Chain A
Amino acid sequence: AQSVSQHNHHVILSEAASLELGCNYSYGGTVNLFWYVQYPGQHLQLLLKYFSGDPLVKGIKGFEAEFIKSKFSFNLRKPSVQWSDTAEYFCAVLDTGRRALTFGSGTRLQVQP
């Protein structure tokens, strides 16, 4: 069965600090990976996704993620965070058999001005 682990449950950073959120997955099929963000009181929004090709994926708002197959990882990065990046971040893997996303437990990012 597929699973996604996000080991950082709560991250607190100061503005301009660099960000890296960990995501490890377990899935036996073709890997399709996603990062979603949920700002307070808002809906889940797609940050970026990986299907194939270049393992370094760039998304919206300056985020990027790197797919490392040998490590079963898809970590999210941003060189310099802003206060507006305060949100919950979810990593997910597409279960192509069940045709649905399996999410990690989420990481709450708090950026202090």
Chain B
Amino acid sequence: DTAVSQTPKYLVTQMGNDKSIKCEQNLGHDTMYWYKQDSKKFLKIMFSYNNKELIINETVPNRFSPKSPDKAHLNLHINSLELGDSAVYLCASSPRAGTLSFSGNTIYFGEGSWLTVV
């Protein structure tokens, strides 16, 4: 029944490793997002996809690469992990981008994936 689900929920890995976080939504939404929440709880958008098309690509290192195989899935792959990548990565989804300003539409968030790089 979970609307936006992410796996894994917790991930501890060593510097230099490559890891992926997966996200799936069963809401029938067209738009999906990745946000990063740092140790001070600050939330910043990283990427958004609308129906498998990349819409937002913030100034994040190119070690981060999103992939959307279909509109219900948005995965995040991180190469050569660094200590500073430790954070909570939040996946989200919303109805078709451009309709967000209409009442009743909102962005739904997953529970987050807690990444710790040691």
Contacts and interface: CB of A to CB of B under 8 A. Distances in A.
Interface of A: 30, 32, 34, 36, 38, 42-46, 49, 51-52, 88, 90, 94, 96, 98-103, 105-106, 108
Contacts of A100: 33, 45, 48, 56
Interface in B79-118: 90, 92, 97-98, 100-103, 106-112
Interface of B: 4, 31, 33, 40-45, 48, 50, 55-56, 90, 92, 97-98, 100-103, 106-112
The 7 closest A-B pairs by CB, nearest first: A99-B97, A44-B109, A103-B43, A43-B111, A106-B41, A100-B45, A51-B103
Nearest to B40: A105
A98 B56 contact: yes
Contacts of A32: 100-101
